[in-house]
A and B are shown apart, each in its own frame.
Chain A
Amino acid sequence: MLADYALLLIGAVLVNNFVLVQFLGLCPFMGVSNKLESAMGMAAATTFVLTLASVSSYLTYNYLLVPLDLTYLRTISFILVIAVVVQFTEMVVRKSSPLLHKVLGVYLPLITTNCAVLGVALLNINKSHSFTQSLLYGFGAAVGFSLVLILFAAMRERLAVADVPEPFQGAAIGMVTAGLASLAFMGFAGLV
């Protein structure tokens, strides 16, 4: 039982990493990874949203949509749930760290359109996860996203001060690095 949960978690964090293996959530990944501090803030916000949204989506699906036979409404209701959670998160961030709020700027409400968040919610349905499994899957996706975001931000900070040839400076070398990181993460394929 515990082993299953552990494998689920490892699967979500490393083997099927949402950003580098499944290529979801690339917008904040490239957009907020310029500085380590804003990346950590974004990672925290997304973790909060992903976990909460994963659970809320599960509850909405299983206790509202399924009993009322409205499963075809899952996409729109998940988006509604996610939008509310993100709005709530934005209020919390603005209160606790106005500078982070300013730095994240538009990327904070854009978590609503982060395909990783909707992806997790829908994948939970596809895989018929239980409550605990949904929770762990959402949390694992969040941890994987955070891990990759922070690693990439650290690398981009070093790239910013390095001797990059002019045609590659900025997003270009970022993309190349992301591709190489993706190759590395795909090496986890045989793990689970």
Chain B
Amino acid sequence: MIEVHTIKGGIHPPEEKALSNPGHVIDCPMPPKLILPLNQHIGAAAEPIVAVGQYVLGGECLATATGLVSANVHAPTSGVIASIDDHPVPHASGLSNCCIELIPDGEDKWLALNGTDDFRQATPADLVTAIRCAGISGMGGAGFPTAVKLMASDRTPIDTLIINGTECEPYITADDTLMQVNPAGIIEGAEILAFIVGAERILFAVEDNKPEAAAALTQAVVDTASSVAREVVTFPTKYPSGGEKQLIEILTGQQVPSGKLPADLGIVCQNTGTAVAVRDAVVAGRPLTHRIVTLTGRALNKPANYRVPLGTPIEFLLSIAGYQAEQSSRLVHGGPMMGFAIDDPRIPVVKTTNCVLAPTEQEFPSAPSAQACIRCGHCAEACPASLLPQQLYWYARARDQEQLERHNLFDCIECGACAWVCPSHIPLVQYYRAAKGFIQDSREEKIRSERSQARFEARQARVEREAQAREAKRAARKAAAQAKTTQDTEEDPIQAAVARAKARKSEQEVTE
């Protein structure tokens, strides 16, 4: 039994988990069209390998990863590619991005899938390749390509694998449901992940507000044998315990240093959904094409957890869940703390869509207008990363890049605990996001201007070199011309010709 620690700060917002009836999954019917963005993850967008009008099977790869930090995109069902064009995507900006539109043909014909019975026969590198080919990226919300994360074990030794079933954000119950419905898949997926990274122990992290999930996992651990030590760890509920760095501190007491990764401490953390996706990819040969999405909020008649094909337009999901538009104040992609508002309900479900919220005005009242900061310091007490939100706020307003970096702005996980406790209702996280934005812009600008300066100086040098070469040539030519003329002045050519003629004439006279 490991000792559980606590993190500083954190808040306890109302959980609202029971609303979505965790522990039961409803299969969502196939929508009339699927919109598959080429970029559903952190990193570069995938590149399409199909053409408009092409018929594809379920599980077929539609777009391949570009570069290392990228992921493949697969067809969730059989159908015809209708277009490869810009379409609104789930992003805080509300902008569009390139998507593959697939019209299902209703037959759900699938590619022949090849899994392995005994993954231990394969090498970790092969398994990582399989995970990469399956297009798996983190399903907890961040979306980092899983294959890349697992490759960290090549550089540093890993001893602990953490399976993150914390799900600390209110309303969301997707992972809770998965843990209750498919605990064996999670356990098996964890085994595979532990084998790949060479971990000696696996910790399944569950908050204590999910006793059924913890019990299901514990039973599954008991029912299976393993060569590594496994433990299901429950700990007191607090937001945001589910953040990777916060969870590591809770389970191990160690803090991931600023700028470093969990792998540097010998720890790899994966979401429960990702673990199941890994199991499906390796054992069943299934690429990532579906996920569990929590549809919740009191503007829905049938809030529940649905198993949804990726690419399902959210408006379709809402109609399945009995959406009452006149009662809802807004739509949110993700949870109430870290999600973003949906302007266009045509956006599709992507690999990181863990929840769609349709709250009423009463549930999510509009934010009261912000007042002046009274320097109470509640934000600093609430920050789980031990930052100084008040100082970050002042410096973000003053756009003071140096001070923001000195106060570790980039260690902020944007959890929103500071904004939650602020008595003046200041939207603190918005300030930090804007500050991160202009600092990143300024860094890019600096790199660009250094490059331009280097090119300018190289050009100056080149022009200088060419001028010198021309000068040298000119001088050489002049010197050659000089040499020739000095030679000539010793012998006047006309005089020389006359002399030659005279000599010939005198010769002729002699011979005659």
Q: Which residues of A contact B (CB under 8 A)?
A: 158, 160-163
A158 contacts which chain B residues (CB < 8 A)?
394
Q: List 5 A-B contacts (CB under 8 A).
A: A160-B398, A161-B394, A161-B395, A161-B397, A161-B400
Known pairs A160-B398, A161-B397 / 8 extra A-B pairs, C-beta < 8 Å:
A158-B394, A161-B394, A161-B395, A161-B398, A161-B400, A162-B394, A163-B372, A163-B373
- Write the chain A residue with the least CB distance to B396: A161
CB distance from A79 to the nearest CB of B (A): 40
- Write the chain A residue with the least CB distance to B375: A162
- Write the chain A residue with the least CB distance to B400: A161
The 8 closest A-B pairs by CB, nearest first: A161-B398, A161-B394, A163-B372, A161-B395, A162-B394, A161-B400, A161-B397, A163-B373
B397 contacts which chain A residues (CB < 8 A)?
161
- Write the chain A residue with the least CB distance to B393: A161
Report B345-401 residues with CB < 8 Å from chain A CB: 372-373, 394-395, 397-398, 400
Central interface residue in A158, A160, A161, by most chain B CB within 10 Å? A161
Bound CA–CA A189/B372 (angstroms) = 37
Digit string of B381-423 for contact with A (CB within 8 Å is 1, else 0)?
Answer: 0000000000000110110100000000000000000000000
A160 contacts which chain B residues (CB < 8 A)?
398
Bound CA–CA A160/B394 (angstroms) = 10
Bound CA–CA A160/B372 (angstroms) = 16
Bound CA–CA A140/B373 (angstroms) = 39
Bound CA–CA A104/B395 (angstroms) = 25
B372 contacts which chain A residues (CB < 8 A)?
163
Bound CA–CA A172/B403 (angstroms) = 24
CB distance from A173 to the nearest CB of B (A): 15
CB distance from A125 to the nearest CB of B (A): 45
Bound CA–CA A13/B469 (angstroms) = 68
- Write the chain B residue with the least CB distance to A160: B398
A163 contacts which chain B residues (CB < 8 A)?
372-373
Q: Which residues of B contact A (CB under 8 A)?
A: 372-373, 394-395, 397-398, 400
- Write the chain B residue with the least CB distance to A161: B398
CB distance from A103 to the nearest CB of B (A): 15
- Write the chain B residue with the least CB distance to A162: B394
B394 contacts which chain A residues (CB < 8 A)?
158, 161-162
CB distance from A158 to the nearest CB of B (A): 7
CB distance from B329 to the nearest CB of A (A): 31
- Write the chain B residue with the least CB distance to A157: B403
CB distance from A159 to the nearest CB of B (A): 10
CB distance from A96 to the nearest CB of B (A): 22
Bound CA–CA A183/B189 (angstroms) = 67
Bound CA–CA A161/B391 (angstroms) = 10
CB distance from B376 to the nearest CB of A (A): 14
Bound CA–CA A100/B395 (angstroms) = 24
CB distance from B199 to the nearest CB of A (A): 46
CB distance from B270 to the nearest CB of A (A): 41
- Write the chain B residue with the least CB distance to A163: B372
- Write the chain A residue with the least CB distance to B372: A163
Bound CA–CA A98/B395 (angstroms) = 28
CB distance from A23 to the nearest CB of B (A): 30
CB distance from A94 to the nearest CB of B (A): 25
Bound CA–CA A184/B462 (angstroms) = 65
B400 contacts which chain A residues (CB < 8 A)?
161
Bound CA–CA A158/B400 (angstroms) = 11
Bound CA–CA A161/B402 (angstroms) = 13
- Write the chain A residue with the least CB distance to B399: A161
Bound CA–CA A161/B394 (angstroms) = 6
B373 contacts which chain A residues (CB < 8 A)?
163
Bound CA–CA A160/B373 (angstroms) = 15
A162 contacts which chain B residues (CB < 8 A)?
394
Bound CA–CA A111/B196 (angstroms) = 68
Bound CA–CA A160/B403 (angstroms) = 13
CB distance from B439 to the nearest CB of A (A): 16
Bound CA–CA A158/B394 (angstroms) = 8
Bound CA–CA A161/B398 (angstroms) = 6
Bound CA–CA A162/B373 (angstroms) = 10
A161 contacts which chain B residues (CB < 8 A)?
394-395, 397-398, 400
- Write the chain A residue with the least CB distance to B397: A161
Bound CA–CA A61/B287 (angstroms) = 91
CB distance from B88 to the nearest CB of A (A): 38
Bound CA–CA A161/B399 (angstroms) = 9
Bound CA–CA A163/B394 (angstroms) = 9
CB distance from A55 to the nearest CB of B (A): 38
Bound CA–CA A160/B400 (angstroms) = 11
Bound CA–CA A160/B399 (angstroms) = 12
Bound CA–CA A163/B395 (angstroms) = 12
Bound CA–CA A158/B398 (angstroms) = 10
CB distance from B426 to the nearest CB of A (A): 11
Bound CA–CA A161/B435 (angstroms) = 15
Bound CA–CA A162/B394 (angstroms) = 7
Bound CA–CA A158/B388 (angstroms) = 14
CB distance from B373 to the nearest CB of A (A): 7
CB distance from B272 to the nearest CB of A (A): 43
CB distance from B96 to the nearest CB of A (A): 37
Bound CA–CA A31/B372 (angstroms) = 30
Bound CA–CA A161/B397 (angstroms) = 8
B395 contacts which chain A residues (CB < 8 A)?
161
Bound CA–CA A43/B373 (angstroms) = 33
CB distance from B327 to the nearest CB of A (A): 39
CB distance from B146 to the nearest CB of A (A): 42
CB distance from B436 to the nearest CB of A (A): 18
Bound CA–CA A87/B252 (angstroms) = 60
Bound CA–CA A160/B395 (angstroms) = 10
Bound CA–CA A160/B397 (angstroms) = 11
CB distance from B432 to the nearest CB of A (A): 15
